[in-house]
Amino acid sequence: MKNPYLPVSAEILEVIEETPNIKTFVLKPKEEIPFRTGQFMELTVPGIGEAPFTPSSSPQVKEKLDFTVMNAGKVTSALHKAKPSDKVGVRGPYGAGYPLDEFKGREVLIVGGGVGLAPLRSFFLTLIEDIKLYQKITFCYGARTPSDIVYKNLVMKEWPKLDKKKVALRLTVDAGDKTWKGKVGLVTTTLDNLKVDIGGSVAVVCGPPIMMKFTTFKLIDLGYKPEQIYLSMEKNMSCGIGKCGHCMMGKYYVCKDGPVFTYDKIKDLPAVWD
Ligand SMILES: Cc1cc2nc3c(=O)[nH]c(=O)nc-3n(C[C@H](O)[C@H](O)[C@H](O)COP(=O)(O)OP(=O)(O)OC[C@H]3O[C@@H](n4cnc5c(N)ncnc54)[C@H](O)[C@@H]3O)c2cc1C
Ligand code: FES
């Protein structure tokens, strides 16, 4: 039987500086690693350790995997020093990912904050590859400042060119600068005057815990039911395969039962937003 902890070696093809503390790593694994959007993988930096990340590329792209990583500590700062042609390890995919079948025929509201755009980019790319399956997509994204916006080219140039009848984009920053002509305000303000059929839609949220908390509360105020709200929970992880218990949230293993949960499943658990 294959050792589930054994990573596949992957070469870094490209390192893209997204923001002052976020980089995207384009990897070429030695063997293909198929995944469903929203599933995560463990990346190993040799000699340093491993940490979980969600691919930010579409599952349709088989030969390469993109990971968008914020510099947060030991493993991520080592990754941020890596250069093209360096090698890392990849094991996975793990978790359940986004239940796309439940979204078909409905409107999809996406709300992202900061590096939470990484899994949402993969998710959004997956939706627009088969856009006819969904009524409409409304994509709200907030960053702290204009320079903290990830995937600037996609978010500010490419995605606004998509068919406006099918895709509505709402972008905001907490604090603008001299160059910024767009909206200023927390990401929750992008939910004001929402033009979404709330009863016929699902809301998919990913970002820092505080952002997910206030976004969820606002969605509930707007009339979303907890079972319509899909949250990506980022708990500390180790094994990634339901063995070590590091990621437990109430009765759930986030690595196995998640990382995506509807709010009704987790809302009464202690420390959901920690
Ligand atoms: C399912 C899942 C998917 C994820 N996907 C992504 C993704 O796509 N992109 C992404 O960027 N992240 C993602 N994360 C988060 C990512 O896994 C963590 O940022 C990563 O594990 C941090 O590892 P590290 O070794 O760099 O940090 P660690 O060294 O383990 O540090 C972790 C925390 O401790 C704090 N810390 C570290 N050093 C210090 C210090 N000296 N003083 C005070 N505080 C300190 C850091 O602020 C950080 O919050 C995901 C997490 C999960 C569970
Ligand atoms: S990370 Fe080990 S059980 Fe989830």
> Per residue in 20-67, pLDDT tens?
999 999 999 999 999 999 999 999 999 999 999 999 999 999 999 999
Q: Which atom of ligand 2 is nearest to the CA of 236?
A: 1
Residue 165: CATH number of its domain: 3.40.50.80
Which of 81, 97, 62, 73 lies closest to 23 in space, CA to CA? 81
Stated pTM of the model: 0.95
- 85 within domain boundaries: yes
- Nearest ligand, CA 95: 1
CATH code assigned at 31: 2.40.30.10
Average pLDDT over residues 152-156: 95
| Structural domain for 152, as ranges | 100-232
Rounded average pLDDT over 137-166? 96
Confidence of residue 270 (pLDDT cuts 50, 70, 90): confident
Residue 204 banded pLDDT, cuts 50, 70, 90 = very high
Which pLDDT does position 273 carry in this prediction? 86
Token pair of 64 as six digits? 């390469």
- Please report whether residue 260 resides in a domain: no
- The residues lining ligand 1, judged by C-beta closer than 6 Å to any ligand atom, are 40, 51-54, 68-70, 72-76, 115, 118-119, 234-235, 237, 259
Pairing of strands 167-173, 8-19: unpaired
Distance from Cα 168 to the centre of ligand 1, integer Å: 31
Q: How far does Cα 159 stand from its chain's mean position?
A: 17
| Residue of 53, 91, 237 to mutate, ligand 2, most atoms within 8 A of C-beta | 237
Q: Name every protein residue with a CB atom under 6 angstroms from any ligand 2 atom.
A: 237-240, 242-247, 253, 255
